[in-house]
């Protein structure tokens, strides 16, 4: 199968692989995670803690975000950490907690797989499998989740070009799985005041190049809790199909990423604001 | 005078110079350009061509954008061009055309000065002096516009940190001139599908660090006409005090930046959308 | 186990994990690959094709580079490719060819493993396992090669800071394996005339922070065959313990990276020049 | 005059302006600064303090570096500083000190001009005018030094592509002045352990694209005194026509850049090493 040079968009000269390229009708593919549809006129909010830490932490967070309008629950059981001595996640114990709270709240679960050997296990519990930034070019892993039959949330590498991002998605689609959501989560630049530089222009760019839904992660995109609301609002305005955010019932004691997690009250307030922006751009958040 | 380490914002460890730092009441300084106020609850739209090319081009563009709600007219008479063989601007002839259309439309004029020796001349015609990205660290020029008494629109260098941006503004304020607007216009990253990567997170970051108003330039930020509307909407949502955009009555024949200039019709439609977003975030565009 | 803030080098404020940090005597750890020692006064040259393509290609290349002074043979059997439709390597068939030519030339083999499930197989054939740039933060893979007992060649991610590079190495050492070589191979910057920007300053920096040997890959570092000799000479002058280069008996028809591979004659000539530089800095190439 | 797409170097697709492009014979232009020739088989060493601070500081440094083989003396009288409150240089007083020590040592002087209005004054004292990184795209200044008749040392902007660097040089040549030396001094990347990332590949790249001599600044390139020697050696090995280094008789009390300045003893030792590398690459340092 061949790749094509994109002629769709003036002044953008990048290669677009076959399966991720725009469809003839320019329609966005609807990715279905249980009953939730991503890629339509509803802006889907995904929320939850960086890592599953305990029943109390996970359940109280999940109940609260559900009430405020989140449609999926995120939470890591296997955590990729820069240091081998940092908390690496609860493993299968964490997956079981996720399954339990789904039973109660009916929120579909998105959680990360880091190793080809984990995909089978994670598939048993998760409704959508996340591939993290550091694994965007882990090709064996991309193929494995492509074969899993599960919807996939693919995060952009922090120094990946748009072209590379699309080719990584193609690895998944080439295995017969077109249920892929692309997530921009900040790229690495010279700027150091933020953890990463959130590339919001990736949303309109990707929407001109691919039929896959595109969402934004303002938590990793800034690394700063107080900045998340402003960036989340911008994400809705720029046309994102959804937002994934870190929310924690008690960020001050979080085992990871507490400095960039909203607390429950902040999330509630933000949802009110996001609904207004969604309406202003002709979409909605239910 | 000493510089202070900023303790205002958790997790941001940068030096903030004295005069640009937040005021005690955290109020944004209102920059007044004739009757127009920037930094209040109205999102100010600045529009116009990259370069002044002719009476016909400038006047028809200015009349149209004024009708649609733009509050200032931009247009270059002296153009910084990468190649010495590219069109360098009409010079004083261009400044005279700007003055003439201001007389008719009452739109204040913002135009660039590139050389310390030009500041006196530009001050005679312009209502606000622009310092371009390439001159963000041209310190003699910063001092000169600081002494000019005119409001200044300072563009962030395409590889300048937030800290450097603030120190460049301090050069202007140190001359007794606090009428300075900061403009984020895209930074240089590894990504090549866009001309620059528009750093929208610079808006909330700067608003937490300085009392100066902050605006966004989505035209240079993307380099792609079709992407400007999405980024302009995001700019309003993220909290910008204004937007500066390139608009041309006939972008196809523009002498510079035609590929990133909106035509008159596109600008008119965008203004309708921007008003909705402004309302959604508690501001307005009159 | 705790990490320490580095106080060794003035003006460098980064965290250094325990096991990779400098030893008290500041000695470089000697990494032994069969009879070859890396980290001593001999600058070790590693050469060979990007991918193993055929017996003829591999064997003629290996015989020639050995004669010119290369001490290890590189060649990929599993290739990480941006596109799922590009040549992905010969797999175990390639590993067998590597084993065969080792029998003849006695050159130890370095080849890449991309998947935790491949490590056992690759270990059966290879003398040193390479972890590619895209997998520098593939933590399960790092642990797996850490447990393999084989020497490891760890390439710096094209977006990885020095600190992250050292923490990735720590993942390997934390499994009881200190036979790790660090390889700088170009980082991603805004510059587009070269494929990557080779960060030669990483050599003295790493040598001030860790006891592990450091080598340079000028082939990926530039992506340009004609530039490889100049960068290889600079690598020896800057203090690298070795160089890894792509060499092919017929680059024009190579299945991957032909544009950055030296041909046999170019490699021969370069080795003459490298010996002179090695002598000038008090080292040698035998 | 038109610009040409470069076809000289395979895989490098950048525009090369007319006057800086390679000559037919591929000869490097010899830039003459009084009796010193840059661009021939001698590697020219330029040394001196960041800023002229006092007679004692300048004279003792100049005498010492001359004895060790430096061929030009650098020293700033007008200093571009990020903060308006930092030491801005001695101004004309500094230029007079430079002239005085030239009388004694016969070392030609290279010093910076930052403002079009300074060029006439600086030309009266200096033998070569330096354009600093922050002014690489200060086009009025480039034209002014182009008309000055003086040799020009043009530093690459820390954010400038090779193509932009060449177009900035073209501004000078377009005024009839081909006595221009290009200086790579580190580019801005995500890496924070060094002040900048020295792009040594710029040397072979530029030498394949332009007839102008190319030199390296390892002091700004690293920002770390202890790293300067390693990078200087690499610069000679990679083919640079010269090196410009910060040397100070007492770096601990320097008013600027003390942390990256060699002391007199370190410079003396480095010169011994550099001569060996120069010989190894078929050049010399007299």
For the domain made up of C4-17+27-79+87-280, give the CATH fold. TIM Barrel (3.20.20)
Average pLDDT (C81-89) is: 92
Q: Which of A18, A84, A161 to mutate to test the interface with C (most CBs of C within 10 A)?
A: A84
pLDDT of residue A107: 98
Give me chain B's average pLDDT, please.
Answer: 94
Average pLDDT (B96-124) is: 98
> Strand D4-5 vs strand D15-16: parallel, antiparallel, or unpaired?
antiparallel
CATH of domain D16-280: 3.20.20.70
pLDDT of residue A211: 98
From chain D, pick out residues whose CB is under 8 angstroms from the CB of A192. 192
Across the interface, whether the CB atoms of A188 and D192 are under 8 A apart is answered no
pLDDT of residue C1: 36
pLDDT for residue A179 is more than 90: yes
pLDDT for residue D67 is more than 90: yes
Phi-psi region of A81 (alpha: psi -120 to 50; beta: other; left: phi over 0): beta
Choose the weakest-confidence range: B10-14, B240-244, D41-45: B10-14
A208 touches chain B (CB under 8 A): yes
What's the DSSP call for residue A196?
A: S
Average pLDDT (B237-250) is: 97
**What is the spatial distance between Cα A176 and Cα A210, in angstroms, rounded to a whole number?**
16
> Could you confirm whether domain B47-280 is CATH 3.20.20.140?
no
From chain D, pick out residues whose CB is under 8 angstroms from the CB of C275. none
Q: How many residues does chain C have?
A: 286
Across the interface, whether the CB atoms of A81 and C139 are under 8 A apart is answered yes
pLDDT for residue A110 is more than 90: yes
pLDDT for residue A89 is more than 80: yes
C142 membership: H or E segment, kind and range: helix C139-148
Query: pLDDT tens-digit profile of B28-79?
Result: 999 999 999 999 999 999 999 999 999 999 999 999 999 999 999 999 999 9
Check: CB of residue B181 under 8 Å from CB of residue B130: no
Phi (first) and psi of residue A60, to 5 degrees: -70, -35
Number of Cβ atoms within 10 Å of the Cβ of C1: 10
Across the interface, whether the CB atoms of D237 and C236 are under 8 A apart is answered yes
Within chain C, how many helices (H) and strands (E) appear?
9, 12
Average pLDDT (A41-69) is: 97
**What is the spatial distance between Cα C114 and Cα C131, in angstroms, rounded to a whole number?**
7
Check: CB of residue A245 under 8 Å from CB of residue A219: yes
Q: Which chains touch D (3 or more CB pairs under 8 A)?
A: A, B, C
> Could you confirm whether domain A45-279 is CATH 3.20.20.70?
yes
Across the interface, whether the CB atoms of A159 and C159 are under 8 A apart is answered yes
Higher pLDDT, A233 or B11: A233
Higher pLDDT, A90 or A6: A90
Give me chain A's average pLDDT, please.
Answer: 94
Query: B197 to chain D, minimum CA–CA distance in Å?
Result: 14
Q: Specify burial of residue B106 (Cβ count, 10 A radius: 0-12, 13-18, 19+).
A: exposed
Cβ-based contacts under 8 A for chains A and B: 145
pLDDT of residue B1: 36
- Alpha-carbon separation of residue B87 from A281, B76, B83, B134, D135 (angstroms): 39, 11, 9, 17, 21
| Percentage of chain B exceeding pLDDT 70 | 96
From chain B, pick out residues whose CB is under 8 angstroms from the CB of C190. 159, 188-190
Name the closest residue on chain B to residue D161, using Cα atoms.
B188
Q: Which chains touch B (3 or more CB pairs under 8 A)?
A: A, C, D
Check: CB of residue B244 under 8 Å from CB of residue B221: no
| Percentage of chain D exceeding pLDDT 70 | 96
Query: pLDDT tens-digit profile of B118-165?
Result: 999 999 999 999 999 999 999 999 999 999 999 999 999 999 999 999
**What is the spatial distance between Cα D231 and Cα D222, in angstroms, rounded to a whole number?**
8
Average pLDDT (D163-180) is: 97
Higher pLDDT, D7 or A34: A34
Give me chain C's average pLDDT, please.
Answer: 94
pLDDT of residue B11: 65
pLDDT of residue A4: 40
Average pLDDT (A224-252) is: 97
Across the interface, whether the CB atoms of C279 and D280 are under 8 A apart is answered yes
Q: Which residue ranges make up each domain of chain A?
A: 45-279
H helix runs in D137-251, sequence order: 139-148, 162-173, 202-207, 218-222, 228-238
C192 touches chain B (CB under 8 A): yes
pLDDT for residue D208 is more than 90: yes
When CB atoms are compared, the residue of B204, B233, B281 closest to A281 is B233
Check: CB of residue D39 under 8 Å from CB of residue D27: no
Cα end-to-end span (Å), chain A = 41
A182 touches chain B (CB under 8 A): no
Local confidence band at A24 (pLDDT 50, 70, 90 cut-offs): confident
Phi (first) and psi of residue B268, to 5 degrees: -60, -45
From chain D, pick out residues whose CB is under 8 angstroms from the CB of B2. 85
Local confidence band at D10 (pLDDT 50, 70, 90 cut-offs): very low
Name the closest residue on chain B to residue D79, using Cα atoms.
B139
pLDDT for residue A5 is more than 50: no
pLDDT of residue D9: 47
> Strand C36-38 vs strand C31-33: parallel, antiparallel, or unpaired?
antiparallel
D233 touches chain C (CB under 8 A): yes
Share in percent of chain C as helix, strand, coil (round to 5): 40, 20, 45
Across the interface, whether the CB atoms of C201 and D194 are under 8 A apart is answered yes
pLDDT for residue D4 is more than 90: no
Check: CB of residue C281 under 8 Å from CB of residue D277: yes
For the CA atoms of chain C, what is the radius of gyration? 18
| pTM, entire model | 0.95
pLDDT for residue C11 is more than 80: no
Return the beta strands (E) in D9-158 as ranges: 15-16, 31-33, 36-38, 44-48, 72-74, 109-112, 128-131, 152-155
pLDDT of residue C258: 87
pLDDT of residue B4: 40
Name the closest residue on chain B to residue D113, using Cα atoms.
B140
Query: pLDDT tens-digit profile of D119-140?
Result: 999 999 999 999 999 999 999 9
Quote the distance between the C-alpha of residue C85 and its chain's center: 26
pLDDT of residue A11: 65
pLDDT of residue D8: 43
pLDDT for residue C144 is more than 90: yes
pLDDT for residue C13 is more than 90: no
Average pLDDT (B80-85) is: 92
Partnered with residue D154 across adjacent β-strands are D131, D182
Local confidence band at C4 (pLDDT 50, 70, 90 cut-offs): very low
pLDDT of residue D13: 80
> Strand B15-16 vs strand B4-5: parallel, antiparallel, or unpaired?
antiparallel
Average pLDDT (C144-163) is: 97
pLDDT of residue A257: 86
Share in percent of chain B as helix, strand, coil (round to 5): 40, 20, 45
pLDDT of residue D256: 86
pLDDT for residue A264 is more than 80: yes
pLDDT for residue C6 is more than 70: no
When CB atoms are compared, the residue of B223, B234, B280 closest to A276 is B280
Partnered with residue B44 across adjacent β-strands are B242
**What is the spatial distance between Cα D122 and Cα D110, in angstroms, rounded to a whole number?**
10
From chain D, pick out residues whose CB is under 8 angstroms from the CB of A188. 190
Check: CB of residue A254 under 8 Å from CB of residue A247: no
Partnered with residue B36 across adjacent β-strands are B33
């Amino acid at each position: 199968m061949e790749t094509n040079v994109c002629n769709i968009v003036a002044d953008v000269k990048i290669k677009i692989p076959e399966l991720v390229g725009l469809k003839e009708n320019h329609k966005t593919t609807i990715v279905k995670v249980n009953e939730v549809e991503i890629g339509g006129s509803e802006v889907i909010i995904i929320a939850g803690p960086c890592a599953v830490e305990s029943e109390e932490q996970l359940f109280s967070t999940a109940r609260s975000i559900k009430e405020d309008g989140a449609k999926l629950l995120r939470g890591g059981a296997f955590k990729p950490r820069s240091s081998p001595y940092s908390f690496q996640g609860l493993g299968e114990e964490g997956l079981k907690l996720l399954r339990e709270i789904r039973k109660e709240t009916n929120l579909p679960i998105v959680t990360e797989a880091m190793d080809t050997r984990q995909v089978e296990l994670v598939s048993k519990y998760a409704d959508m499998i996340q591939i993290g930034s550091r694994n965007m070019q882990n090709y064996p892993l991309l193929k494995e989740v492509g074969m899993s039959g599960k919807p996939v949330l693919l995060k952009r590498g922090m120094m990946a070009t748009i072209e590379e991002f699309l080719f990584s998605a193609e690895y998944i689609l080439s295995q017969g799985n077109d249920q892929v959501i692309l997530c921009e989560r900040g790229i690495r630049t010279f700027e150091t005041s933020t953890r990463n530089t959130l590339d919001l222009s990736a949303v309109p760019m990707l929407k001109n190049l691919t039929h896959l839904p595109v969402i934004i992660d303002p938590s990793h995109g800034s690394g700063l809790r107080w900045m998340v609301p402003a960036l989340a609002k911008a994400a809705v305005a720029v046309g994102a199909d959804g937002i994934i955010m870190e929310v924690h019932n008690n960020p001050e004691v979080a085992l990871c990423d507490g400095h960039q997690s909203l607390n429950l009250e902040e999330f509630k307030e933000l949802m009110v604001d996001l609904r207004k922006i969604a309406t202003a751009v002709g979409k909605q958040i239910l």
